[in-house]
Chain A
Amino acid sequence: MSAEYDIVNSFTIPTERELVERVGWFIKLRWYAGILVPVVTLLAGYVLKLELPVVRLSIIGLVILGYNALFFYYFRRLSKSLEERLVTFSRFANLQIIIDWVVIALIMHNSGGIQSPVLLYFVFHILIASILLTRRNCYLQATFATTLVALTAFLEYYGVISPVKLKFMSDLDILSLSSYLSFFASTMYAVVFLATSVGEALKSKERHLMNQQAELEDTYHTLAHDLRRPITATQSMLNTVIAGHGGEISDEAKRWVERSEYRLRFDLLERVNDILNWAARRVKLIESVITDVMLFDVVSKAVLNAMEIADDKGVKIVTDFVDSSLTVKGDKDDLEQMLAELLHNAVKYTPPEGVVTLSIGAIDDKARIEVADTGIGIPKDALSLVFREFYRADNAQLSDKYGTGLGLSIVKQVVDSHGGNISVYSKLRKGTRFVVSLPNAEYEGLKETESSDATFLSTVESLSGQKLTNCYQCQKCAAGCPVIYTTDYTVNQIIRLVQMNQESKALQSSMIWLCAACETCGVRCPNDIKMSAVMDVLKQLALREEKMEIKEKQISAFHSTFLKNIRSNGRIHELGMMAALRLKIGGLFSDLGMAFDMIKKGKLKILPSKVKGIRGIRRVFKTAV
C-alpha cells in the first residue's frame, strides 16, 4: 500500500479530520507571529536593552504576514472544494512547515544564532507534523530542520554570514556548537519517534473502533432479520390454518392455533421488537435526524396504530389538540415511537370501557404532550423506577404477562435526547398520567426573530405583491403541489415561515428552488395568493444574502446558465446552454448520446443565431441585475 493511498484511506478518522481543521490554526497563529516578531524585537530593545536588528526582523514579520495571506486564501479555497483530499492537505502542511522553518532560521540568525531561544520554536511544527503526516515525511522534515540549523550555525561560525550576538551570549567554540546541534537533532528525532508512535496507535485504535461499529451494525441488521423472520413466517402459516385454507379444523383446534398466534404476536414479536429497538439505541445505531416536526403529523399515526388495539379491547381514545400547527425540533421517527409507546402502554393497562386521553398544547416555550388513562395505575414505590430498563411493576406483570419493561425506558431516552422532560403522576386503580414537555420550535424561532430581521414579511410582501398575511393555512396549495413529496417545507409552511419572519429558514429551504412554477397553488388559493411570485422573490433574496446556503445549487446554476445564454445571443442556444450547464454541475457526458441523436435529427443547432438588437437586450440585463 503506497503512502498516499494510506493517507486518503485514513481521512475518515475523527482525529485526522480534526487535524485538517488545525491546519487552519497554523494560519491563525501565524498572523500573531507576524505581528509579534517586530513587537517583541522592540520590547527586547527597550526593556532588556538587547541590540536586535529591528529593521531586518520587522521585514521578516511583514514577510510572514505576506505569505500567510497567500496561505489563507489557498486554505479557504481548499476548504470550499467539495472533495478535499488529505493528500492535498498534507502537501500543504509540508510546504507551510518548510517555509516557516526557513523563516524561523532567519529569525534565529538575527537574534543570536544557535544560542537564540527561538530555536525551541522548531519543536511546535515537528509535533503537529508527527500526528498529521506520515512517519517518513516527519523524519525527512526533522532532517531538514537539523540541516537548516546546522547550516546557519556553521556559516556563522566560519564567518560566512555575520552573526548577531546578544549581550548574554558567550562565544561558542566548535565543541559547544556541536553539542548544541546534537542535542537539537536528537530532540527532533525523539519527538518524531514518540509522537508518531502515539499517533499511529491512536489512529489504529480509531480505525478498529469504526470497523467494530460497522460490524456491530451488520450483526444487528442480520440479527434483527433472523429473529423476526421465523416469527412472522410462523404467524402467517398459523393464519392460513385459522382461515381454513389448509382444510377444515375443529373449533377446539382452531382456538389453540389462535392462541398460539396471539402469543407469537403479542408475546414474542413485540418483545423482540422492543429489545431490538432498545439495543439499537444503546449502541447508537439509530441516528436521529433533526427537523422541524409538526406534532399533529406525528400524533395522527401513533393514534391510528393505538386505536387498532384499543378498539379490540373496548378502550376509548380521546384526543384534544389545542394547536395543530405546534412544531418541535426533533427526529420524526423518534417522536412517533415515543408517542406510540406511551399510547400503547396506556391502552394496555386500561381495562375495557376505560378512556385514554391524549392532549397536546403549548405552555410558554414548551410543547406539552399528555397521555392520561383510567387504568390500573402504578404503585407509589414503583413510580421512580418505571423508566428503568427491563423494570415492570408488580401489578403490571399481573395485569399483562407480556412485556419487556423496555417501552418506557425508550420513551425516556427519546425525551432526554430532545432536551425535554417527562413526569408521571399516578393513583392505584384510578389511572396514570404521563406529561412530556419538549422545547417549542416556533418559540425558539420567535426568539431568533426578535434579534434578527422582523421586516422580512413586509419585504417579501412588497417585492412579490402578494398579501401573505391573508393566508389562513387551509393547505389547498400543498394539496395540489406536484413536488411536495421531495421538499423540506410545504407551500403553506413557507408562507407561515415568512409570516413569522423566519428569514433564514425560508431562504434556505429546498422548496423555493424545487417549485416548478406550475402555478397550481396560485389558482387554487382562496385568498388569491400567487405563491409562484413569492417563491421567485425568495430565490432572489436567497441569492442576494451571502450567508444563506443555497439548497439545490444545481437548479440555481441552471437558471443563471440559462440567462447567460440569453445574454450572449438574445435567444437560447440549446446545445451551448446544455454544455455550459453540464460543465458547471457535472455529468458532461450523460447527455452526449441524446445530443448526437438530436443533432442528427436536426433538433439541435450547432451554431447559435444572434438577434439583431442584442445591445438593447444586454442593457436590460444591466438594469435588471
Chain B
Amino acid sequence: MEFSYFPGCSLHSSAKEFDLSTKAVCEQLDIQLIELKNWNCCGATSAHSLSERLAIGLAARNIILAEKKGLDLVMSCAACYNRTKVVQSSFFDNPGLRNEFMEIFKIKGDDMPTQIEAKHLLEVFHEGEVMEQVHQKVKRPLENLKAVCYYGCLLVRPQNITGFDDAENPNFMDDLMKAIGVSVLDWSYKVECCGASLSLTRSDIVDKLSGKLLSMAQEMGVDCIVVACPLCHSNLDLMQKKIEERTGREFNVPIFYFTELMGIAFDIPATPKWLEKHAVDGSFLLNN
C-alpha cells in the first residue's frame, strides 16, 4: 500500500515522536509513506479565523501537490486532516477554485485531476486488511495497560465533512488499541475540547478544559490517555505540569500517541527514543 504523507509543521517539531512512530509503524504494516515534497502549513485555526481565502489557499496547495502525485493522502495530525478535508469539500462545491489556486501557485497540471482521498492514519489502520495485519504484528500485547482514547474535535467535526467514524462516539482508536491488547475503558470525554491553541493566550481556559480531562482519567484509574492529535498531546502532556501548578492538583497521567503504543506492542526497537520526548514520564511501558 502506498500513500502520500503530509506530516505537517507540528510533526516536524513539537510532535516529532508522532512522526517517528507513524513512519515506523507503517513500515511494519507494509504501508509505504512517501512524504509530500515541499508541503506547506495547513493554516490551522489562525488562517480560517482571519481569512477564509487564505485558509483555502494554504490547504489547497498541498491538495494540488498530492493530486499531481496521484496517491491518496494520509495525515497523522488532526488539524492538517481537518483543514484538508474542509478544502477538498470546497473544491467539490466550487470546482473553479482549484484552477484559480493552481494559477496563483503557478503549478502546471490537468484541469481534471486524479481523484485522491484524504485520510487520517486511524482510518487507514482501521480498514479490514490492515487491522488483520495489526493483530498479526503484535509481539508484546499491552494486556496490563488500562487506557482511555481521546479523539478531540478536529477528527470528528464537522461530521458531514470529515466523515470520520462517529461525531459523538467514535471507536476507531478504541478498536485499534483493543487489537494490540490494551484494556480500553469507555468514557464520555472522547470528543470534548482540550482548549486548543488558547494555551498560549488564555491558559486559564486550557487549565479548565484539559484539567477536566486529566482529572476524569485520573478518577477512572487509567494508566494513560491515548491521543491522535499533536495539539491535544501538547495541552495534555507538555502543559500538564503547568496545569498542575496553576490548579494545585496533581495528575501525573502519561499521554501517548496511538502509534507509540502500537510501536511498543510491535516491539519496535526505536520506541524508547519516542517516549523520552514526553514531558510526563511514560517509560514504565518499556519495563514490563
Known: A518-B157, A540-B50, A559-B50. Contact between A624 and B40, CB under 8 A? no
Residues of A within 8 A of B41 (CB): 566, 570-572
Q: Which of A552-580 contact B (CB under 8 A)?
A: 552, 554-555, 557-560, 562-563, 566, 570-574, 578
- Tell me, yes or no, whether B45 is within 8 Å of chain A by CB: yes
The stretch of A64-72, A106-114, A608-616 in contact with B is A608-616
Q: Give the residue name and chain of the A residue nearest to B206 (CB).
A: A516
Q: Give the chain B neighbours of A530 by CB distance below 8 A.
A: 158
Bound-state CA distance A612–B196 (Å) is 29
Residues of B within 8 A of A555 (CB): 198, 201-202
Whose C-beta in chain B lies nearest to the C-beta of A570?
Answer: B40
Task: Give A574 to B14 CA distance when docked, in angstroms.
Answer: 8
**CA of A594 to CA of B242 in the docked complex: distance in angstroms?**
10
Q: Is B136 among interface residues, defined by CB-CB distance under 8 A?
A: no
Q: Which residues of B contact A585 (CB under 8 A)?
A: 201
Does A620 make an interface contact (CB < 8 A)?
Answer: yes
Partner of A540, one of B39, B51, B101, B198: B51
Question: Chain B contacts of A612 at CB under 8 A?
Answer: 38
Residues of A with C-beta under 8 A to B202: 486, 514, 552, 554-555
Please give the distance in Å from B23's CB to the nearest CB on chain A.
Answer: 15
| Cβ–Cβ contact B48 & A517, under 8 A | yes
B196:A518 contact, CB within 8 angstroms:
yes
| A522 with B14, Cβ < 8 A, contacts A516-B193, A552-B202, A571-B40 known | no
When the two chains form their complex, are residues B201 and A624 in contact, meaning their CB atoms are under 8 A apart? no
User: Which residue of B has the minimal Cβ distance to A464?
Assistant: B52
Query: With A and B bound together, what is the CA distance between A310 and B16 in angstroms?
Result: 64
What distance in Å separates the Cβ of A559 from its nearest Cβ neighbour in chain B? 4
Give the residue name and chain of the B residue nearest to A463 (CB): B52
B192 within 8 A of A: yes
* B54 → chain A closest CB, angstroms: 4
Instruction: Please state if B193 and A625 are interface contacts (CB–CB under 8 Å).
Output: no
A624 touches B53 (CB 8 A): yes
- Residue A566 contacts which of B13, B43, B104, B198 (CB distance < 8 angstroms)? B43
Q: In the complex, A245→B65 CA distance in Å? A: 78
B13 near A613 with CB under 8 A, answer: no
Per a CB cutoff under 8 Å, which of A519, A540, A573, A624 touches B157?
A519
- Range, interface on chain B: 35 or more
Chain B positions 81-117 with a Cβ under 8 Å from a chain A Cβ: 101, 104-107
Report yes or no: A578 in contact with B193, Cβ–Cβ below 8 A. no
Task: Report the minimal beta-carbon distance from A588 to chain B, rounded to whole angstroms.
Answer: 13
Interface centre among B45, B196, B279 (most CB of A within 10 A): B45
CB-nearest residue of chain B relative to A574?
B13
Q: How far is the CB of B208 from chain A (nearest CB, A)?
A: 8
List B190-205 residues whose CB lies under 8 Å from chain A: 191-193, 195-198, 200-202, 204-205
Write out the residue numbers on chain A whose beta carbons fall within 8 Å of the beta carbon of B57.
Answer: 617, 620, 623-624
> Which of A482, A604, A617 has a CB less than 8 Å from the CB of B209?
A482
Complex Cα gap A523–B166 (Å):
11
**Which residues of A have CB within 8 Å of B196?**
516-518
- Other-chain residue from A523, A558, A598, A620 in contact with B14 (beta carbon distance below 8 A): A598
Is A613 in contact with B54, judged by CB distance below 8 angstroms?
Answer: no
CB-CB nearest 6 A-B residue pairs = A620-B57, A519-B157, A616-B105, A624-B54, A518-B193, A562-B46
Q: Take A558-B201, A562-B44, A616-B61 as given contacts and tell me if A605 and B51 are in contact as well, using a CB distance cutoff of 8 Å.
A: no
A539 contacts chain B at the CB level, 8 A cutoff:
yes
Number of A-B contacts (CB under 8 A): 168
Chain A CB within 8 A of B277 CB:
yes
Q: In the complex the two chains form, what is the Cα distance from A562 to B42 in whole Å?
A: 12
Contact with B along A503-522 (1 / 0, CB 8 A): 00000000000101111101
A residues touching B (Cβ–Cβ < 8 Å)? 482-483, 485-486, 514, 516-520, 522-523, 530, 536, 539-540, 543, 552, 554-555, 557-560, 562-563, 566, 570-574, 578, 581, 585, 594, 597-598, 601-605, 609, 611-613, 616-617, 619-621, 623-625
Q: Contact check, A574 vs B46: say whether CB atoms are below 8 A apart.
A: no
Contacts of B197 in A (CB 8 A): 516, 558, 562
A570 to B57, CA, bound (A): 12
B159, chain A: closest CB distance, angstroms: 6
Please list 18 pairs of residues, one from A and one from B, whose beta carbons are closer than 8 Å in the complex, sorted by A's number. Answer: A482-B192, A482-B195, A483-B205, A516-B195, A517-B153, A519-B157, A520-B153, A523-B168, A540-B52, A562-B46, A562-B197, A563-B43, A572-B13, A581-B200, A611-B38, A611-B40, A613-B38, A620-B105
Is A603 within 8 A of B277, CB to CB? yes
Q: How far is the CA of A573 from the CA of B10 in the complex (A)?
A: 9
Known: A482-B193, A574-B13, A601-B276. A558 touches B50 (CB 8 A): no
Q: Given A598-B14, A616-B106, A563–B48 Cβ distance below 8 Å?
A: no
Contact call B105/A558, Cβ cutoff below 8 A: no
Chain B interfacial positions (CB closer than 8 Å to A):
9-10, 12-16, 38-41, 43-54, 57-58, 61, 101, 104-107, 153, 156-159, 167-168, 191-193, 195-198, 200-202, 204-205, 208-209, 238, 242, 276-277, 279
Known contacts A520-B193, A601-B276, A616-B106; A574/B9 CB under 8 A: yes
- For A519, what are the chain B residues with a Cβ–Cβ distance below 8 Å? 153, 157-158
* Residues of chain B contacted by A566 (CB below 8 angstroms): 40-41, 43, 47, 58
Interface of A is mostly: helix
Contacts of A602 in B (CB 8 A): 16, 277
Task: Check A578 against B13 for contact (C-beta < 8 Å).
Answer: no
Cβ-closest chain A residue relative to B48? A536
Instruction: Give Cα distance in the complex from A514 to B193, angstroms.
Output: 13
The answer to whether A552 and B46 have CB atoms under 8 Å apart is no
**For the complex, what is the distance from the CA of A620 to the CA of B201, rounded to whole Å?**
27
Q: Which A residues touch B193, using CB under 8 A?
A: 482-483, 516, 518, 520
Chain A residues with CB below 8 A from B279, complex form: 597
**Chain B positions within 8 Å of A562 at CB level:** 44, 46, 197
| Residues of A contacting B15 in the complex (Cβ-Cβ under 8 angstroms) | 603
**Chain B residues whose CB sits within 8 angstroms of the CB of A617 once the complex forms:** 40, 57-58, 61, 105
**Interface centre among B40, B43, B58, B104, by most A CB within 10 Å?**
B40
Residues in B whose Cβ lies below 8 Å from that of A558? 46, 197, 200-201
- CA–CA, A536 and B45, complex, Å: 10
Closest to A521 in B: B157
Which residues of B have CB within 8 Å of A616?
Answer: 61, 104-107
Other-chain contact of B205, A486, A522, A573 (Cβ < 8 Å): A486
- The docked-state distance in angstroms from the alpha carbon of A514 to that of B192 is 16
Question: In the complex, what residue of chain A is closest to B45 when comparing beta carbons?
Answer: A517
A494 CB to nearest chain B CB (Å): 15
Chain A nearest CB, measured from B206 CB (Å) = 9
> Contacts A482-B193, A601-B277, A602-B277 known; A523 to B167 CB distance under 8 Å?
yes
Q: Is the CB of B192 within 8 A of A563?
A: no
- Residues of A within 8 Å of B48, CB to CB, are 517, 536
Inter-chain CA distance A330–B89, complex, in Å, is: 46
Q: Which of B52, B195, B201 contacts A536 (CB 8 A)?
A: B52
B200 to chain A, nearest CB (A): 6
Closest to A614 in B: B40
Closest Cβ neighbor of B278 among chain A residues? A601
| Chain A residues within an 8 Å CB radius of B51 | 540, 563, 624-625
For B276, what are the chain A residues with a Cβ–Cβ distance below 8 Å? 601
Q: How far is the CA of A4 from the CA of B48 in the complex (A)?
A: 48
For B105, give its contact among A571, A573, A604, A613 (CB under 8 Å). Answer: A613
Cβ contact within 8 Å between A623 and B50: no
* Minimal Cβ-Cβ distance residue in A for B53: A624
Q: Which of B49, B105, B167 has the most CB of A within 10 A?
A: B49
